[in-house]
Amino acid sequence: MKNILLLIAIIFLTLTSYSQENELMKIEKKGNLQEVTLYYENGAIMQHGFYTEDGKLHASWESYNIDGSRKCIATYNFGVKVGIWTYWNNNKITKVEYDNNKIISIKEVDKGTSIKKDF
């Protein structure tokens, strides 16, 4: 009897944890890419982006704060950082330009104003 109760408890815990993981992540096949959306426990989107079949980040990747506001928009080319990545933090917007995983420039902007710093 104890073994049956233990088995039922293990199955219940397994199903519960599996269903929670599924609710926090959604994966859809889009051509040769996998579209991935990760969610906070409150249902808000945490991250959204694309992977190649061999697991490399590709195309756009977006991150959000728990309140739904944007945190970062990034671009990958088969796992390599490229283009302008934009970060939102409080009243500042930081733009980091990448070329083949190397930082080309960093610009910091106050929301509603012109470029503040150019590194």
Domains within the chain, CATH numbers bracketed: 25-118 (2.20.110)
Least confident of 12-26, 43-57, 102-116: 12-26
Residue with tokens 């195309």: 59
The average pLDDT across 74-79 equals 97
Which of 81, 82, 44 lies closest to 65, judged by CA?
Answer: 44
Reference 59, options 26, 28, 41, 32; nearest CA is 32
Asked whether the predicted pLDDT for residue 90 surpasses 60, the reply is yes
In tens, the pLDDT along 3-38 reads 554 545 555 555 445 444 558 999 999 999 999 999
Report the pLDDT value the prediction gives residue 75, as an integer from 0 to 100. 97
Instruction: Please compute the mean of the pLDDT values over residues 80-85 and round it to a whole number.
Output: 97
